[in-house]
Chains A and B, each alone.
Chain A
């Protein structure tokens, strides 16, 4: 999927694009207020980055420690090399327990692996219980944002959807009425489910515990009503010690939504009485990213979504324009690592403004990574040839001063004489919405040389002010 074309399609509905930008900018503003309320914010970010960097440096050891500790608590730990293996493991656990219906709290990993589709193919029904995820599930869509999955949908559209699917009043738009309807609907699903699946925000190597953060408490219902709990996590979710958790919990909710902390931070240490806890650890090419000096830091990500919220491109093009589970700056660096040939336009869906890098709570150098990706994509021949050839041509002109001056002269002197309809032809992408700047007759060099002549003449006549310039 080509980001620019999808983005243009989104923007064609100007009113919606503006609404989308403003709705998400509001979240960024709340994040700013919350961050500025913590004087030691920058120290926290630095500490978090160092903890993550340390963990990634010794990930194998921490993973083994986690497996040992979690097993000691009674959890059953599984290892999955890729999405397929992950899906198969989950399917097998569910089939062993004759599960027909699963409730699931938000998990971007299961979205990444396409778990819902896989289970549905094996006749296991999955009900997403995060409100936003349930909305997109009912619409048969994918989340457009990792924290706010239904941010692209307006209240009235939710009202219409619920009217059709849940039998609410036609034309209802009151958020309280609609969420109450969703709550009643989901409550039934929780009671009917045979098993619960959650994501994992943090896994603690020292204790073997896992932490799931939600605002709706749906992870708690997902794991306390059914006896079987399957927690799915990427291997990068590890932190070394319980004491490190505070650093991340303070950063996560403030960066995500501007809250001081998520409403529920649920800790799981082994299964509930009489139940089972399975933890599935998934690689899915994370170890390849870990091996790369350029992109290793992208594994620091705690999925707060702050880089999406601040990204001027994401806000105006919508999450679906990226065609991936994780959109925005972090998605544009993670996805090419997974499948470079499919996501080659994502690193270019960026003006290199650098806001993502500054907002990231774990200090991932996001815009630098996108810059580096472009070089890698060109090296691998994944960027259209006409683009690289035109850049090669430009590079040649710009390393030959005479040819550069001649090209400039031609453009200014011939270009300025052409009729408007030729200049603003269909191929002129710049000119679709913008004027070309008025072309000056002379370049800086020419004007500067004339100035020197004028200066020399005036100083010969003894009227000029003393002025340096020894050339």
Chain B
């Protein structure tokens, strides 16, 4: 099984440790990963702005790099969802897209659906607040969103809750958007930041020690708010921020 490791641009540049943790977790389950060189981005920033022409070559480049693999796995619900749900009309060859689309997975989804893992060895004795990134939740269907009247499930939580000592925060709004939204976080700065503050307040009232998500981008936005509050009050941030892969990798040690 050849697994191509898809490292989104902001993880490559800003959160390399999340990429390393992803490799570590996959290797723990006997998966050999390959990192195709020359990776850049999935094209989401341009596509979300409506700049389809600018996104096109980036999407083609993605297919060039990953076409040959049996699976493509990346630690981001949003970027994986971009490839799976928003590449139509961006790439020239629909058959090539279909091939890549079917084998591209978010990390937890790959563990849960492909490797059929339900149990992780290790312990993580902390109260964790699980932030459900919207694209992972509603487009990749990693969990049942609160709007739908369907049986409750949560693939990420199933994996995490097998860790010894882990506890989960009970949130008042279990799956509200944090307000990152890519370029939205800047173009609608006031709304985006209020949304982020509201999420953090919900986590604080629930007693979250570690805020986690399958999406480092959502966490970057919330971490930015936490660190600004800490900077202003000259104290430590109110909670730690870790990607799900980091929790999984760390709990093994």
Contacts and interface: CB of A to CB of B under 8 A. Distances in A.
A18 B194 CA distance: 9
A281 interface: no
Contact of B49 (A378, A435, A437): A378
B72 to A, nearest CB: 16
B151 to A, nearest CB: 11
A411 interface: yes
Given A377-B50, A398-B9, A430-B185, A4 B16 contact: no
B189 A4 contact: yes
A445 B9 CA distance: 11
B35 A471 contact: yes
A383 to B, nearest CB: 6
Interface string B31-64: 1111101111101011011111111111011000
A451 B55 contact: no
A378 B86 CA distance: 17
B225 interface: yes
Categorize the interface residue count of chain A: 35 or more
B180 interface: yes
B231 A435 contact: yes
A447 to B, nearest CB: 5
Given A313-B191, A443-B13, A391 B49 contact: yes
Contact of B147 (A359, A408, A436): A359
Residue of A347, A397, A400, A435 with highest tally of chain B CB at under 10 A: A435
Contacts of B49: 374, 378, 383, 387-388, 391
B188 A35 contact: no
Contacts of A4: 187-191
Interface string A374-390: 11111100010001100
B45 A432 contact: no
Interface stretch (B111-119, B157-165, B216-224, B244-252): B216-224
Contacts, number: 233
B79 interface: no
A398 B35 CA distance: 17
Contact of B13 (A350, A373, A383, A411): A411
Given A38-B149, A437-B220, A354 B135 contact: yes
Given A4-B190, A445-B37, A447-B20, A434 B228 contact: yes
A300 to B, nearest CB: 17
Interface in A154-172: none
A434 B188 contact: no
A434 B32 CA distance: 38
A395 B57 CA distance: 7
Nearest to B173: A25
A444 B20 contact: yes
B191 A317 contact: yes
Interface string A303-323: 000000010110011000000
A35 B19 CA distance: 40
Given A4-B190, A391-B46, A401-B40, A437 B224 contact: yes
A400 B35 CA distance: 17
Interface stretch (B99-107, B121-129, B138-146, B203-211): B138-146
B149 A408 contact: no
Interface string B1-43: 0000001010111111101100100010001111101111101
From A25, A399, A446, residue with most partner B Cβ within 10 Å: A399
Interface stretch (A48-56, A57-65, A217-225, A462-470): A462-470
Contacts of B195: 312-313, 316, 351
A264 interface: no
Contact of B54 (A349, A394, A444): A394
A433 B225 contact: yes
Contacts of A42: 148-150
A21 interface: yes
B193 interface: yes
Given A399-B61, A429-B186, A353 B50 contact: no
A347 B196 CA distance: 20
B184 interface: yes
Interface in A412-434: 412, 429-430, 432-434
Interface of B: 7, 9, 11-17, 19-20, 23, 27, 31-35, 37-41, 43, 45-46, 48-58, 60-61, 86, 134-135, 137-139, 145-150, 173, 175-177, 179-182, 184-196, 198, 220-221, 223-225, 227-228, 231
19 contacts: A35-B147, A38-B149, A312-B179, A347-B50, A348-B187, A351-B184, A352-B181, A392-B53, A395-B58, A398-B41, A398-B46, A399-B57, A430-B186, A430-B224, A434-B221, A443-B13, A444-B20, A448-B23, A451-B23
Interface of A: 3-4, 7-8, 11-12, 14, 17-18, 21, 25, 32, 35-36, 38-39, 41-42, 310, 312-313, 316-317, 347-355, 357-359, 371, 373-379, 383, 387-388, 391-392, 394-401, 404, 408, 411-412, 429-430, 432-437, 439-440, 442-448, 451, 467-471
Given A355-B176, A395-B53, 4 more contacts: A4-B188, A348-B184, A355-B134, A357-B138
Q: Which A-B residue pairs are the 5 nearest by beta carbons?
A: A468-B32, A374-B50, A434-B224, A395-B54, A351-B181
